[in-house]
Structure 1
Amino acid sequence: MTKLNLSARDILQKEFKSKVRGYDPVEVDEFLDTIIKDYETYNQELLALREENHRLVNKVDQLTQSQATLSRMKQEVPNPTSVTNFDILKRLSNLEKEVFGKKLEESSGSVKIDVSEKARASLSSAAEKVLNNDDLGATRRF
């Protein structure tokens, strides 16, 4: 804080020398000039503290909003134990093998190979797309 020339006690205890017609005007003027300088210093200090207070209040508001956003984001983060698209595709592949495997055994051998290869290619392509996709939120429609 800036060093001030007068304290409240100094102003209260200040005594002016009297002359025949009252106080010495030069001494009174010098004292009032010192008081004015102190008031200007107080005013500058007050303005600086108000600006700092305003800046800090804004920063607290901003941090509060950031914290609220982070807490909302933490709530929206999916559970790591939840089912992923890869798990769903794996299950689907096993089901298709089970269902189509029985049907294909009943049908001819050449058709069996053709359908099996198509199913594997389709599943491989779907699994590759899921693994390469970084946006898991968009793919969690299941």
Structure 2
Amino acid sequence: MEIKLNSKIILEKEFKKAMKGYSVDQVDQFLDQIMEDYDVFEKVVEELEELRAENRRLKEELENSASRRSQVQPPAGNTNFDILKRLSNLEKHVFGSKLYE
């Protein structure tokens, strides 16, 4: 799927004039509208390509992040035990003997 026209090609297009041809002003006005639409279309295509590239990059980041997380993450049981042990030691330090009264 290749785009064959752009606003420059449309602008520079010459039509032969005939005795019973179209109104030159109407054709020019219509071509102006087409050029504006092509300019918008080209911007949308560029934005779409940027979004596709960003989407690929984000997917790669997500995959890399997930694989790193699975390699680094310790078993949940040990982590919870360590947290509870640290919390208990902190409570003893902060509250001291009042904790057991």
TM-score (norm 1): 0.39
Match of 1:45 in 2: 37
1:75 aligns with 2:67: yes
CA distance in 2, matches of 1:35, 1:126: 80
Partner of 2:86: 128
Residue equivalent to 1:57: 49
1:67-106 counterparts in 2 under 5 A?
67-78=59-70, 82-83=74-75, 86=78
Structure (1 or 2) with the larger CA radius of gyration: 1
Larger relative contact order, structure 1 or 2 (CA cutoff 8 Å, min sep 6):
2
Letter in 2 for 1:16: M
| Paired residue secondary structure (1:16) | coil
Shift of 1:86: 2.7
- TM-score normalised by length of structure 2: 0.53
Matched positions, count? 72
The percent of aligned pairs where both chains have the same amino acid is 7
